[in-house]
A and B are shown apart, each in its own frame.
Chain A
């Protein structure tokens, strides 16, 4: 963080001098002798002074200026340098664009402005008092001074007040090392205080199994209150009392039952709200950060995996404006302890007595190859699990094809997935694009449990634009205003025929968005439902050249890539006649359907549900241990990076299949990740455009008409338990605690 560097620079004045003399001003030392004010005090010899130079510093944290209307740009002067900002920006934002990092506690760019910490005081010419820059709109020609003695003294005074009641327990505080208060008191604070009275103490609150509270440390910035109210949509937290007795709390005993509650840990500038599972586990400077991707849902939130040695210690969000902004769901953040439990670490074979015996890789692969070569090709079935990366799915499909079978699919995509039209299974408007919509129609999807980050976007849109939301599905608690239109296909037909009152809302909408849940993939009448939804889309002009609001919200991380790679089974019921079943981490397969004489190979990283039916177990790497491409629900491919080593004897998924193909005598022609990606390029080149969203070229209207009959059974919730959806989260103790305490009705 910039402020941390700033602090270290203050401590080492020689370093700051060095960098100041060099041309690389990437951060501007605020605590320094004000050069600009002395420059201004010099008499100007020129009667017509030149216009002030533009700010020589790049914006803080690469902030971009976006001018919605060019005529609304106004010019302000920050420390004598001119900077152009759009109208309506605050003084703080203008300073950021000018490259001046203003210290702040309560201000957060994604929350409403409170202006109660007073740390961001700056001096503005012709104002009698220092101005709280976060709450002051920038006005044309405003002359802002950020490093005058007045501003510095004001900050020092504010810091003294903040530290008055703040306990000096940094050595036992989990925030130590990444604490805004620590950093800023180093940079802007005084080295002594004048407070000799007794410090305040506040009773700790119980916010559930995820967030630990030490309320005595709270500095009342109200970021958590605003986050809970505005982003998470649970109005539980509030500011209680007044004066020195003021405290954050819920008043009545209440847990924070939000799927985004973990984010208050990140936004808390001090150690008042910290992570309960991470408490006293490590210091942040001991951790190695690996920038990776979340796989617990189909959103593909950008995360940073913090690890120490062989264990993952925590997961933090990474900024990605298009996908998860800077939030992540609790499942993403706290599933990491599942990576340490129930791991498969050795190849195992089920002996004649029904017990598993540890064997070597050579023996295990030999047995699998022998059985695979004995059965008929059409009796071979391969199922990719919901956490599979694109490389391993490619390898699995290639291997099975070379064995003569084409019965390979990804779980969650249903018995007869349609991979022909990409627009039929991705989120065409994009997650960030949902913010442009003004009417939403949710069909059989409960985004709050299926994709919490998408739900946060919808909520943001509903709050910002008063967008209307219609919902078809079982009654649920979405945390924004919505109309519950119905529970099943009947309502859908009414909407398609224009008999439903919500039709007028759809028809009058500028940018209507329809979101169909991937839970419907499992239904037999999936094609019929989709054609009815397309009729609705056509009537409401959802798909236009300038706006494509037809969206499918996928459930699993592997689904989109699997369909892109064409993992579609040849026949829907192949599993019932299978003799050789290759499960690549597939745990949600109904194992009752597998014939009892079938040979089941389970390749995966957790001893979850399918392992108990397996004849042979091949241990594989989890998402934190491998490099793999995942495509999220909006069609954006991203890759995970290994943060920790694999456990025991486990190997990467694609390597296992490559080795197996060699033993089976049908060697796959790739030996490295680069080679397998070259193979993917021939099938689905979009998967290799990392971090870029590949739009679907053809719209769903090209689809042939479907003749299936639609059944009128109601939609069922796709996910029963938000906290436990895959093998990692099912192994996690924290997730078990969450589902025990937070889902209690």
Chain B
């Protein structure tokens, strides 16, 4: 009897979990699109797409890194280049163009592009803001940061603002846990030449809104920690330990080697 009661309670919990998930926050999705392509006016295989002449040199340079019979190894750098050129996202025709360059069937390129969440297959803003959602950042309040961004921009996750400037996505750990929480700004406003991918660390819900406004005005902002009391990833207010030089290892005579 007790067991049945517990089971019923568990079912209720699960149901509650499900309904809450659907209503309050959008489903956790790693990439910006479905795993299959739906034709739309700005994204269909009939649209022409080509690397720009400067990027064609870059393509040649990238291909030169790999043996000529393993051209397909260049798929990721080429997709990245195509994404930078196309304002932060990859239409089908761009993937087809990459497939042609590396001489494989288009599906092999689609496989790679759908696998990696940093390849966007739907439109993103000129500034694509990526909020780290992995555990350390989450503990330090990345959910609040994302909520603040979404509320300020008036969009949902992976949606582009009306002026086409911003979009917000989630990213897994980018290795800045020491300065958590952090966001990344992928700046596609200047094509592949002026492409930047900057980390803004130690952000607060207030600070991210300021960052957005700075970006909107086109002002430059030094990347890195946003906490003025810290330098890089050092502790707030300067070091308190490890003040002297580290001692050499005691058991081995390094000079004798």
Contacts and interface: CB of A to CB of B under 8 A. Distances in A.
Chains A and B share a contact (CB less than 8 Å): yes
Interface of A: 196-198, 203, 205, 229, 235-243, 245-247, 249-253
B114 A241 contact: yes
B11 to A, nearest CB: 9
Contacts of A236: 105, 107
A235 B92 contact: no
B30, B35, B104, B111 interface centre (most CB from chain A within 10 Å):
B35
Return the 7 tightest CB-CB contacts between A and B, nearest first: A235-B105, A238-B107, A251-B110, A241-B35, A240-B35, A240-B114, A238-B111
A205 B35 CA distance: 12
A235 B107 CA distance: 7
Interface string B55-89: 00000000000000000000000000000000000
A251 B35 CA distance: 7
B161 to A, nearest CB: 26
Contact of B36 (A235, A243, A251): A251
Nearest to B95: A251
B168 to A, nearest CB: 20
Nearest to A198: B18
A246 B37 CA distance: 14
A236 B45 CA distance: 15
24 contacts: A196-B14, A198-B18, A203-B36, A229-B105, A235-B107, A236-B105, A236-B107, A239-B111, A240-B114, A241-B31, A241-B35, A241-B114, A242-B114, A242-B117, A243-B30, A247-B35, A249-B36, A251-B37, A251-B106, A251-B110, A251-B114, A252-B37, A252-B110, A253-B39
B108 interface: yes
Interface of B: 10, 14, 18, 30-31, 35-37, 39, 45, 92, 104-108, 110-111, 114-117
Nearest to B116: A242
Contacts of A205: 36
Contacts of B116: 242
Contact of B108 (A235, A245, A246, A250): A235
A250 B115 CA distance: 14
A252 B14 contact: no
A237 B104 CA distance: 13
Nearest to B121: A251
Nearest to A234: B105
Contacts of A196: 10, 14
A242 B108 contact: no
Contact of B92 (A238, A242, A246, A252): A252
A376 to B, nearest CB: 63
A238 B112 CA distance: 10
Given A249-B36, A251-B37, A251-B110, A242 B18 contact: no
Contacts of B10: 196
A91 B115 CA distance: 31
Nearest to A245: B35
B134 to A, nearest CB: 15
Contacts of B92: 251-252
A198 B37 CA distance: 25
A213 to B, nearest CB: 12
Given A241-B31, A245-B35, 6 more contacts: A229-B105, A242-B117, A250-B36, A251-B110, A252-B106, A252-B110
Nearest to B115: A242
Contacts of A252: 36-37, 45, 92, 106, 110
A194 to B, nearest CB: 13
A249 B115 CA distance: 13
Contacts of A239: 111
Contacts of B35: 240-241, 245-247, 249, 251
A237 B45 CA distance: 17
B110 A238 contact: yes
A240 B115 CA distance: 7
A200 to B, nearest CB: 12
Contacts of B37: 251-253
Nearest to B104: A235
B109 to A, nearest CB: 9
B8 to A, nearest CB: 13
A197 B14 CA distance: 8
B27 to A, nearest CB: 11
Nearest to A246: B35
A79 to B, nearest CB: 39
Nearest to A239: B111
A251 B18 contact: no
A246 B10 CA distance: 29
Contacts of B108: 235, 238
Contacts of A198: 18
A698 B114 CA distance: 59
Contacts of B104: 235
Nearest to B44: A252
Contacts of B39: 253
A3 to B, nearest CB: 31
B104, B108, B110 interface centre (most CB from chain A within 10 Å):
B110
B45, B107, B115 interface centre (most CB from chain A within 10 Å):
B107
Contacts of A235: 104-105, 107-108
B38 to A, nearest CB: 8
B192 to A, nearest CB: 24
B107 to A, nearest CB: 4
Nearest to A250: B107
A232 to B, nearest CB: 12
B102 to A, nearest CB: 13
B172 to A, nearest CB: 11
A205 B38 CA distance: 12
A258 to B, nearest CB: 13
Nearest to A247: B35
Contacts of A253: 37, 39
A472 to B, nearest CB: 26
A252 B105 CA distance: 13
Nearest to B31: A241
Given A198-B18, A249-B36, A251-B114, A242 B105 contact: no
Contacts of B31: 241
Contacts of B18: 198
A253 B106 CA distance: 13
Nearest to A248: B35
A240 B108 CA distance: 9
B107 A251 contact: yes
A245 B30 CA distance: 10
A245 to B, nearest CB: 6
B76 to A, nearest CB: 14
A239 B14 CA distance: 31
Nearest to A202: B35
A250 B30 CA distance: 20
A235, A237, A252 interface centre (most CB from chain B within 10 Å):
A252
A237 B107 contact: yes
B148 to A, nearest CB: 28
B114 to A, nearest CB: 4
B44 to A, nearest CB: 9
Contacts of A249: 35-36
